[in-house]
């Protein structure tokens, strides 16, 4: 009997690098993306079409998209607004990601817009993307708790998810942007969403701020989710959300789900090599919590 698959999208080259003090040139970012491909990852968030003035680490997004054209994989790019969408389309992107907000405070801090205005803009992007044949992933930021407004009403997340899927989003990702969720909270919300929409159109994005990232991945799996964002070397965090520590590490998620019997298609030694690379390039990537143990196990079987 074949193994059930869990999709891991590595967001390190975008979400992971955007808040790093060391700005990596395009060549080094491409080196990291290709290291992830070598490790077997086929879903990678590679760039963001944002203002280089506000996010210098994402300059050269069009160069990265064009360099990856023809490579085998699902390469998504972040677009923050209609202008970003047009730039991504012109560069040849066929899979975009939008960020919406579970709270008013986070929308104002990150997008400098009201949450309603962000929702309206997302609707326009989804309409244009449908006409252009471009696939869309929608991420709901601070889906559990906001650093400005506090706990988020699950009913708002349920309503947003329903609307985004009805408008044409291929996947809606539920994001614990500041790492405030706990497993019981995760399982309650995701079980409700899976019951309403099925698991295939849902994903999760967890941060490890309170050391519960993996526990929350487990809770989401128990609810039926089979798609997760993670960041190589546990690098990253939202620069506009106070308290947002690193994303859950790709190597930790891959280790756990494979030990649980799922298939990821990932080669662990090559993944650890990619983790070492991002640490070398950034100078401060912490690495996965299990990296030392994983290396020792691989050395024993070499």
CB 174 within 8 A of CB 167: no
For residue 265, pLDDT beyond 70: yes
Contacts of 289-294 with C-beta under 8 Å, sequence gap 24+, read 289/208, 289/214, 289/234, 289/249, 289/252, 290/251, 290/252, 290/255, 291/249, 291/251, 294/251, 294/255, 294/268
For residue 239, pLDDT beyond 90: no
Residue 62 neighbours by CB under 8 Å, 6+ apart: 49, 87, 90, 91
The candidate with the shortest Cα–Cα distance to 37, out of 2, 79, 67, 78, is 67
| pLDDT, position 19 | 82
Q: How confident is the model at residue 130 (pLDDT cuts 50, 70, 90)?
A: very high
The burial of 198, by beta-carbon neighbours within 10 Å (0-12 exposed, 13-18 middle, 19 or more buried), is given as exposed
Tens digit of each residue's pLDDT (9 = 90 or more) over 65-102: 999 998 999 999 999 999 999 999 999 999 999 999 99
CB 154 within 8 A of CB 188: yes
Please list the alpha-helical segments (H only) found in 98-181. Answer: 104-111, 115-132, 154-166
| pLDDT, position 245 | 64
CB 251 within 8 A of CB 290: yes
Beta bridge partners of 172: 138, 202
| pLDDT, position 243 | 52
* Rounded (10°) CA dihedral 203, 92, 108, 53: 130
- Residue of 238, 245, 248, 278 with catalytic role: 238
> Quick one: what percent of the chain has pLDDT higher than 70?
96
Tens digit of each residue's pLDDT (9 = 90 or more) over 155-189: 999 999 999 999 999 999 999 999 999 999 999 99
Please list the alpha-helical segments (H only) found in 133-238. Answer: 154-166, 183-197, 213-223
204 is catalytic: no
Angle 26-38/268-282 helices, nearest 10 degrees? 160
CA gap 302, 297 in Å, rounded: 9
For residue 221, pLDDT beyond 80: yes
Average confidence score pLDDT of the chain? 95
- Output the furthest CA–CA distance in the chain (Å, rounded): 55
**192-to-81, 157, 224, 226, 247 alpha-carbon distances in Å:** 30, 11, 10, 15, 24
Q: How confident is the model at residue 284 (pLDDT cuts 50, 70, 90)?
A: confident
Q: How confident is the model at residue 11 (pLDDT cuts 50, 70, 90)?
A: very high
**219-to-6, 200, 247 alpha-carbon distances in Å:** 14, 17, 17
CB 250 within 8 A of CB 271: yes
Span 33-55, average pLDDT: 96
| pLDDT, position 123 | 98
Q: How confident is the model at residue 241 (pLDDT cuts 50, 70, 90)?
A: low
CA gap 252, 109 in Å, rounded: 30
CA R_g for the chain: 18
How far from chain centre, in Å, is Cα 44? 9
């Amino acid at each position: 009997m074949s193994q059930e698959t869990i999709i891991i999208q590595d967001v390190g080259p975008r979400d992971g690098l955007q808040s790093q003090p060391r700005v990596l040139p395009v060549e080094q970012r491409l080196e990291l993306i290709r290291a992830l491909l070598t490790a077997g990852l086929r879903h990678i968030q590679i760039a963001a079409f944002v203002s280089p003035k506000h996010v210098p680490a994402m300059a050269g997004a069009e160069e990265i998209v064009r360099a990856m054209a023809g490579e085998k994989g699902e390469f998504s790019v972040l677009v923050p607004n209609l202008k970003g969408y047009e730039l991504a389309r012109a560069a040849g992107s066929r899979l975009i990601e939008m960020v919406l907000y579970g709270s008013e405070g986070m929308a104002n801090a990150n997008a400098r817009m009201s949450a309603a205005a962000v929702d309206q803009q997302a609707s326009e992007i989804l309409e244009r993307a449908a006409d252009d044949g471009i696939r869309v992933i929608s991420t709901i930021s601070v889906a559990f708790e906001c650093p400005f407004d506090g706990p988020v009403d699950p009913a708002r997340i349920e309503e947003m998810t329903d609307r985004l899927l009805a408008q044409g989003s291929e996947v809606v990702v539920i994001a614990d942007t500041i790492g405030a969720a706990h497993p019981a909270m995760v399982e309650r919300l995701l079980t409700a969403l899976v019951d309403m929409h099925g698991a295939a159109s849902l994903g999760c994005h967890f941060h490890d701020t309170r050391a519960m990232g993996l526990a929350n991945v487990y809770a989401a799996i128990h609810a039926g989710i089979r798609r997760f964002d993670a960041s190589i070397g546990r690098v990253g965090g939202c620069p506009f959300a106070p308290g947002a520590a690193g994303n859950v590490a790709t190597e930790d998620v891959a280790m756990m789900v494979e030990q649980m019997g799922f298939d990821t298609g990932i080669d662990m030694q090559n993944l650890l090599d990619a983790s070492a690379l991002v640490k070398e390039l950034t100078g401060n990537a912490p690495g996965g919590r299990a990296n030392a143990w994983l290396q020792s196990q691989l050395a024993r079987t070499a």
